[in-house]
Amino acid sequence: CFCSATIRCKCRSRLVLCLDYHNGYYFHWLDHYQDLLFIGRNILSQLSTCYIGIMSLAGLKKQFNKANQYMSEKIGGAKGTELDDEFVEMERRIDVLGKLVDDLINKTHEFLQPNPASRAKMSTRNALSKMRGQEQKILYQQPEGTLGDYMIRHGTDLGEDSTFGGCLIEAGESFKHLAEIKYNLEDNVKQNFLDPLNQLQTKDLREVNHHRKKLSGRRLDFDCKKRKKDKGSTITEEELRVAEDKFEESKNLAENAMHNVLENEVEYISQLQAFIEAEVDYHRQALNTLQSLLDGLEQKRNEAASKPRTEHIPKRVSSFRRSESPNSYDGPSDAFDNDTGKSGSYNFNNIQAPSYHQSGFDPYDDQDPFGSYAVPDTKKKPMARALYDFIPENEGELGFQEGDYVDLVSQVDENWFEGTFNGQAGFFPINYVEVINPL
């Protein structure tokens, strides 16, 4: 026995427990609580609501009785009142239905929006917008719409004269229309399938489980009083009868609630039917869109095949007007030399001798006739020369072509370098380059 104790529950709110055998048992709540510590049995019993005020002696005794009976059944092997088989079967079906609803909601969201990273990003942005009071709804980025945007962009780049470019633009518009159809599917499924499931999960099943939890507590209280009376305790017949009546009342409420939920299968089937109808409508519209696109592409292909092929004769290099060559002469000579009467000639008397940065380099070596114009100064900083073309496939990678010189920044691991090229930084494979100046 003790006079008082200060206890902290999971929510870290403080309560003071005062035990007084003359005036009864009282709980003074300073904040709110979620857990009640049963001192005698050292048990935490979850409470579904928060109370402010004073718990009476009867309520405290009921909590102790429930804890006593629970420990007696789990440890002492005491037998509790067994419910009928029909009730137990209804409880099993309710548990299955609850798990079914949880999985259906989660997996339907994954089905409609398969990219988990995009779902998380969209959810975060929507939450931030809601916190700021903007209520700006961020839509999930459909892959059909992204593909359509790129088709339209590159089809436009090919120009109006390109038949293939026109086909790409037409295909891009069709894929963007598929994305709009997908958004309509999401709205339809959410309204006619997911929202009713959420209603079932958050209201109907929650109410059923509330009655079941209350029934379990009253059953423990009744069994404890019955066991104590059988052992000759001071439990009166009136107390036992009241406990039994409450137990019976809770059983009826829980059984009726479970029956109403389980017998509502017509509505559940209608919701599933609405989901399937939305899917059929989506696929029908998608089929019509793609079939129209396919017919249009077939027509354009036939038109392109019917056009006569034009013969192309490449022009000779000597027919081009020569442009200025940097670092080879002081200034451009006239396109037509008045002294010689020849077109496009250079004034070789003004050519500057190139400066070669590599020591021992022979400017007349046949292996590298361009000298320092092709090889940059590699003595000052870490550098590597590209052995092959590297095309970036992921964000953060650095692309280059064979023969390019890349400045080295660091070695990420045994397979990747970090470097810069043409003002851009990124990562590239080590085996694609030859290190000239190591890090």
- Spell out the domain ranges in the chain: 62-71+82-123+140-305, 383-437
Quick check: 331 pLDDT over 50? no
How buried is 383 (Cβ within 10 angstroms: 0-12 exposed, 13-18 middle, 19+ buried)?
A: buried
Please spell the DSSP secondary structure of 2-32, one letter per residue: -SEEEEE-TT--EEEEEEETTTEEEEEESS-
Q: Output the CA–CA distances (angstroms, integers) from residue 155 to 167, 407, 422, 424, in the order listed.
A: 8, 35, 27, 27
Residue 160: pLDDT band (50, 70, 90) is: confident
* Strand 416-421, strand 424-429: pairing: antiparallel
- Cα gap 31→416, rounded to integer Å: 57
Among 107, 136, 143, residue whose Cα is nearest residue 122: 136
Contact (Cβ atoms closer than 8 angstroms) between residue 178 and residue 155? no
360 vs 65 pLDDT, higher one: 65
Q: Residues 189, 105: contact at Cβ < 8 Å?
A: no
pTM (predicted TM-score): 0.56
Q: In whole angstroms, what is the distance from residue 22 CA to residue 1 CA?
A: 13
Give the Cα separation of 184 and 55 in Å (integer). 54
- Cβ atoms of residues 289 and 297 within 8 Å: no
Q: Give the per-residue pLDDT at 364.
A: 42
Query: Which amino acid is present at 136?
Result: Q
Residue in the block written with tokens 């022979």: 362
| Averaged pLDDT score across all residues of the chain | 76
Query: Of the ranges 2-6, 156-160, 399-403, which one carries the lowest mean pLDDT score?
Result: 2-6
Bridge partners of 19, per DSSP, are 25
Q: Which residues, 6 or more positions from 243, have their beta carbon under 8 angstroms from its beta carbon?
A: 218, 221, 222, 225, 226
Q: Mean pLDDT across the stretch 363-388?
A: 61
Q: Is the pLDDT of residue 367 over 70?
A: no
Q: What residue type is assigned to position 241 of the chain?
A: R
CATH says 383-437 is which class?
mainly beta
d(CA 426, CA 408): 10
User: What pLDDT was estimated at residue 130?
Assistant: 76
What separation, in Å, do the N-terminal and C-terminal C-alpha atoms of the chain show?
75
Average confidence (pLDDT) over 278-295: 96
Question: What is the model's pLDDT at position 410?
Answer: 92
**78-99: per-residue pLDDT in tens?**
777 889 999 999 999 999 999 9
Q: How far is CA 148 from the centre of its chain?
A: 22
Q: Are 279 and 185 in contact (CB under 8 A)?
A: yes
Q: CB-based burial of residue 174 (10 Å sphere; 0-12 exposed, 13-18 middle, 19+ buried)?
A: buried
Fold of 62-71+82-123+140-305: Substrate Binding Domain Of Dnak; Chain:A; Domain 2 (1.20.1270)
pLDDT band at 26 (very low <50, low <70, confident <90, very high): very low
At residue 15, what is the residue type? L
From 56-70, 230-244, 284-298, 361-375, the region with the lowest mean pLDDT: 361-375
The pairing of beta strand 383-386 with beta strand 405-411:
antiparallel
Q: What is the pLDDT of residue 322?
A: 54
Number of Cβ within a 10 Å radius of residue 304 = 12
* 3 state SS of 338: coil
Q: Does the pLDDT value for residue 45 go beyond 80?
A: no
Average pLDDT, integer, range 261-290? 96
User: For residue 168, is pLDDT > 90?
Assistant: yes
The encoded tokens of residue 161 equal 């004269």
Nearest Cα to 108, choosing from 98, 100, 96, 120?
A: 100
Q: Which two three-digit tokens encode residue 238?
A: 């009136």
Residue 379: pLDDT band (50, 70, 90) is low
Lowest mean pLDDT among 34-38, 61-65, 164-168, 223-227: 34-38
Give the model's pLDDT for residue 274. Answer: 96
Phi (first) and psi of residue 142, to 5 degrees: -75, 135
Give per-residue pLDDT as tens, 107-154. Answer: 999 999 988 888 787 777 777 777 777 766 778 889 999 999 999 999
Is the pLDDT assigned to residue 25 strictly greater than 90? no
CA distance 197 to 204: 10
pLDDT score for 346: 38
**Does the pLDDT at position 21 exceed 50?**
no
Express each pLDDT in 176-208 by its tens digit.
999 999 999 999 999 999 999 999 999 999 999
User: Looking at the predicted structure, is the pLDDT value of residue 268 above 90?
Assistant: yes
Angle between helices 163-189 and 265-306 (to 10 degrees): 180
One-letter amino acid at 266 equals V
Which one, of 97, 432, 59, lies nearest residue 264 by Cα? Answer: 97
- What count of other Cβ atoms lies within 10 Å of the Cβ of residue 296? 15
